[in-house]
Amino acid sequence: MKAGARLVAGVDEAGRGPLAGPVVAAAVVLNPKKIPAGLADSKMLNAERREELFVEIMATAEVAFTAASTDRIERLNIRGATLWAMSRAVASLSVRPDLALIDGRDAPPGLACAAEPVIGGDALVQSIAAASIVAKVVRDRMMRRLGECFPVYGFERHMGYSTPEHIAALSAHGPCAHHRRGFAPIAALLAA
């Protein structure tokens, strides 16, 4: 980590792999005096614990998040849309960090602070773990709302991932406006 960095933002995303819905990135600057107990990679926590930690993080940290829509994913590809959302999340923080620690291999271009990618960062860095929780909770809430608008797909159950239920719904009903047409299973359906 960069020497002398006082304000460090952890940055992570949720939703790169699903066939539908946005990708959401979050940036979190933790208050070192009020770090929520039990921060971990969001994938290691159940939904109830993620929601509890989300409330604690929002109450004690500087937090910003950005969603890249399906349209943006189609225009930029999933990597480009993810990096765009990460950059916007960092820029939207109410404080300017000295350093952004980014989960993964890539740092978004054009950040107003130094950035370091951290492979597996959501399991190694508390602020990245917090960002992973925020991104996952925000995205899951968005997918539950999509589930209410498009009930035939079951988004509220599988969050847009490629489950047998989702594939069956796609086969029966075709894709909706929130499906990622550039992703292979959707492209194959459209080409059939």
User: DSSP label at 43?
Assistant: G
Examine the pLDDT at 1 and tell me if it is beyond 70.
no
Residue 118 pLDDT > 80, yes or no?
A: yes
Helix (H) and strand (E) counts in the chain:
7, 5
Residue 28's nearest CA partner among 123, 112, 100, 107 is: 100
Under a CB-based contact definition with an 8 Å cutoff, are residues 30 and 139 in contact? no
Three-class secondary structure of residue 62 per DSSP: strand
> Residues of the chain with pLDDT > 90: what percent?
90
pLDDT of residue 35: 96
CATH of 8-191, one of 2.40.50.140, 3.30.420.10, 3.90.1150.10, 3.20.20.70: 3.30.420.10
Express each pLDDT in 54-107 by its tens digit: 999 999 999 999 999 999 999 999 999 999 999 999 999 999 999 999 999 999
**pTM of the predicted model as reported, rounded to 2 decimal places:** 0.95
Element (H, E) at 180: none
The structural domains of the chain, with segments of one domain joined by +, span 8-191
pLDDT classification of 192: cutoffs 50, 70, 90: confident
Other CB atoms within a 10 A radius of the CB of residue 176 amount to: 16
